[in-house]
Amino acid sequence: MYVILAGMMYTPFLSRRDAWVLVNEDSGLIEDVGQGPCPVEGVPVIDAGDAILCPGFIDIHVHAGGGADPLSEALKGGDVAEALLKMGKYEATSGVTSFLPTTGALPDEVHLRLLGAIHDLVKRSPLSETRQRGALILGVNLEGPFISRKRKGAQPEEFIQPPRLEKARRLLEAYPGVARIMTVAPELEGAIPVIEYLVSNGIVACLGHSDASYREAVVGIEAGISHVAHVFSGMRGFHHRDPGALGAVLLDDRVTCELIMDNVHVSPEAAKILIRLKGADKICLITDAIAAAGLPDGYYELYGRQVKVESGRATLPDGTLAGSTLTLAEAVKNMVNLVEVPVSEALRMATYNPARVVGISDRKGSIRRGMDADLTLLDEDFSVRATVVGGRVVYRKEGKVG
């Protein structure tokens, strides 16, 4: 047992000053939560001073980071598992306690290689082993291959495939229980049976990289789509005579939206419109990060192609945006400072909301007794002071946490 003391805690639904959390390191759970002097004596204390304590960040759409690139390793036939673990260590430095490695339009054998490596880490590795190394892998987010060529973004067109139910079954049933989210463009022929199959198997059906009209998007939502990949980006936009896929998802309360709040993909004004129409509970902050995240400007890879990063902006040679170099801590900061949302709402978008989308809000995403002890400590400027995964401190900023 040990206690964390913090100047401010966001659960994220309640805010408390001079808060404390009692952590059971053996079980990896939160034993108790309170305010004021901690009644528990005789246990070690981590006094975080004026830090902000919040649930651990959950990134449900992230490709790579800190130089770790599972996609590139899978394409080259390299050590995918080691890249995933390295990625988890990087994620922890940015306050992330759990994440979904995200794929794209890839050859079938590459997808299976990624799924196999993630399956081994999620299903076979002891929790005590993986949590010592960084953020936990929750499963996989399949951002393809059933997407629109017209709205492909940075994804390689040669690997985009039409939606086929049998192909989806072969891909997803090779490693049951690993896939959490799958993106499908609902306007494509064969998409609706795939969407219905995903929902019937507990996988979140996600609209993304889609040129769907308003009516085509509505048909997809009626079939089971409940989530949207990086809203505004990679989808038909709004027009007053054709509201498009964007209009459909903005109007439907059944749909949650991912938001890349890096002030590159989406402007603060567009984010304000999104919040006005959807509300804070329907938005998940994501990074869509690539290997360059956390590293200097330069040249990197995505899907085996060169990406230039300049002033933190990642693009293909033709200028197409190619993921981001964002962290969730920066996304939260941007939501507060640029979009002017309350801190509690910004934190909810990075913690509880993504946990609810992937069906783990009974264990993660909030601070209360019996929940997983996945916690993030932030400085007042939202930089990460420390990260706790399953009750164990896996990252601490030098000199900041005792």
The pLDDT value given to residue 128: 47
Nearest residue to 129 via CA among 377, 395, 386, 390:
390
* pTM to 2 decimal places: 0.96
Q: Tell me what the mean pLDDT of segment 101-123 comes to.
A: 92
CA distance 307 to 266: 20
Question: What pLDDT sits at residue 195?
Answer: 98
- Report DSSP letters for 129-152, one per residue: HHTTTSSEE--EEE--SS--STT-
Model confidence pLDDT, tens digit, residues 343-389: 999 999 999 999 999 999 999 999 999 999 999 999 999 999 999 99
CB of 321 within 8 A of CB of 153? yes
pLDDT value, residue 305: 87
Which has more pLDDT, 37 or 125?
Answer: 37
Q: How confident is the model at residue 85 (pLDDT cuts 50, 70, 90)?
A: very high
Which residues, 6 or more positions from 395, have their beta carbon under 8 angstroms from its beta carbon?
92, 93, 134, 384, 386, 387
Does residue 12 have a cis bond before it (omega within 30 degrees)? Answer: yes
Question: What average pLDDT score do residues 300-313 get?
Answer: 91
Q: In what order do the strands lie in the sheet with 305-310?
A: 298-302, 305-310, 313-315
Has 288 been annotated as catalytic?
yes
Distances from the Cα of 255 to the Cα of 17, 137, 155, 200, angstroms: 34, 24, 24, 17
Contacts (Cβ under 8 Å, ≥6 apart) of 57: 94, 95, 96, 97, 328, 329, 332, 350, 351, 376
pLDDT, residue 304, reads 82
Contact (CB, 8 A) for 225 and 195? yes
Cβ atoms of 394 and 131 within 8 Å: the answer is: yes
Mean local confidence (pLDDT), 259-272: 97
Q: What share of the chain is helix, strand, coil (3-state, %, to 5)?
A: 30, 25, 45
* Cα distance between the two ends of the chain: 16
Q: Return the pLDDT at 34.
A: 95
**DSSP notation for 329-395:** HHHHHHHHHTS---HHHHHHHHTHHHHHHTT-TTTSSS-STTSB--EEEE-TTS-EEEEEETTEEEE
DSSP reduced 3-state for 240: coil
Taking Cα atoms as reference points, which of 110, 119, 121, 122 lies closest to residue 73?
Answer: 110
Mean pLDDT of the chain: 94
d(CA 391, CA 336): 28
For the chain, percent of residues with pLDDT exceeding 70: 97
3-state secondary structure (DSSP) of residue 314: strand
- Report the pLDDT value the prediction gives residue 154, as an integer from 0 to 100: 87
Q: How far is CA 50 from CA 54, 143, 370, 379, in A?
A: 13, 39, 25, 8
Q: Are 265 and 274 in contact (CB under 8 A)?
A: no
Can you give the length of the chain in residues?
402
Given 211, 288, 372, 374, which residue is catalytic?
288
pLDDT at 123 (0 to 100)? 75
Residue 374: closest CA among 44, 88, 139: 88
Give the Cα separation of 41 and 48 in Å (integer): 18
